[in-house]
Amino acid sequence: MDKIGVWFTCPMSNYLQDEVAKRFKLIKSWEIASKTAFINHHSKSIRAIVGNGAYGADSTLIESLPYLEIISSHSSGLDQIDLVKCKERGIRVTSTPDTLTDEVADLAITLILATVRRICACDQHVRNGLWKQQDFKLTTKGSGKHVGIIGLGRIGSAIAKRIHAFGCPVSYYSRTEKLNSGYKCHPNVIELATNCEILVVACSLTESTYHIINREVIDALGPNGYLINIGRGAHVDEPELVSALVEGRLGGAGLDVFEHEPEVPDQLIGLDNVVLSPHVGTCTMETRKAMADLVVANLVAHFSNEPLLTPVV
């Protein structure tokens, strides 16, 4: 297998790179001065791509690799991979879904509690010596709040299970109704937002979910409502979110993802009712190792003519 070239779209963990290098020819695309010239010269050996949620494989890259057989994504999100082109070419695609479910769900709960109780602002209140001058202002409780979840897949279901333990009624909106979930399904996002106090975005990014959180949804959530996004930044119309927070039309937001990462609107940074996190939903040592192991296992399975562990296409 050492002659099989694996194209890495961006730097990833040293562990993942080392594990791939033990079995294949690791190609670090970011170290190549002329990618076009390199691909033209080595295209026959490049038979696999490893990407992630930010740097996947678009149609241009896929078309430039005529011998490409598999894309093993270090992510559960597939919005950065041209799946249509992969199906046309018969290119296999794998992801790392179950390895990160618990970690992302944990972060969602953390963001909910940190946002409604304004934990980051409390931290600054203490650090800046303001506690000696005055008590911190009252916040609102998290327990018992009605939580709406957009997307009741693996991650959405894990969030629902966790937040239910806080005595929070749960409802959801999804492409298909989950008949055995035990949670109320709403026919659209507007109705879901109208009937909840905390709205969590946990769906995949597709054409239909791009800017699924728009002005109408934000206004339905209202000045006492909170938005939590652990999906993708493009799920939210960011300028509309910023204006709603600045104008007080939305109570607060907990955000792990942004529309133009790593750029974050300056206005969000100055708001104490917003908790900002640098897309770290899967960023623990345990989860990243599990994800890396699954990426490698899928590559090994494919080139050993064995069934893929987590096939998407």
The reply to whether 39 falls in a domain is yes
Residues 209 and 179 in one domain: yes
- The enclosing domain of 164 has a CATH number of 3.40.50.720
The reply to whether 10 falls in a domain is yes
Domain count, the chain: 2
Average pLDDT over residues 176-203: 96
Q: Is 261 known to be catalytic?
A: yes
User: How many Cβ atoms from other residues are within 10 Å of residue 134's Cβ?
Assistant: 8
Q: Which of 74, 118, 186, 232 is catalytic?
A: 232
Q: What is the pLDDT of residue 7?
A: 98
Residues 165 and 84 in one domain: no
For the chain, the first-to-last Cα distance in angstroms comes to 23
Q: Is 191 known to be catalytic?
A: no
Query: Residue 2 pLDDT more than 80?
Result: no
Residues 74 and 204 in one domain: no
Helix (H, G, I), strand (E, B) or coil at 8: strand
The reply to whether 311 falls in a domain is no
Residues 139 and 48 in one domain: no
Q: What is the pLDDT of residue 3?
A: 84
Residues 104 and 247 in one domain: yes
Under the banding of pLDDT at 50, 70 and 90, the label for residue 263 is: very high
pLDDT in tens, 26-52: 999 999 999 999 999 999 999 999 999
Q: Which of 63, 88, 261, 286 is catalytic?
A: 261
Residues 125 and 165 in one domain: yes
Q: What is the pLDDT of residue 32?
A: 96
Residues 51 and 183 in one domain: no
Residues 121 and 251 in one domain: yes
Query: Residue 4 pLDDT more than 70?
Result: yes
Q: Is 279 known to be catalytic?
A: yes
pTM, to two decimals: 0.92
Domain assignment of residue 64, given as a range: 5-95+285-303
pLDDT in tens, 80-89: 999 999 999 9
Helices (H), 142-284: 154-164, 189-194, 215-221, 238-247, 266-269
CA dist 166 and 164 (Å) reads 5
Query: Residue 210 pLDDT more than 70?
Result: yes
Q: Which of 154, 162, 215, 279 is catalytic?
A: 279
Query: Residue 1 pLDDT more than 90?
Result: no
Contact 203, 153 (CB under 8 A): yes
Q: What is the pLDDT of residue 313?
A: 84
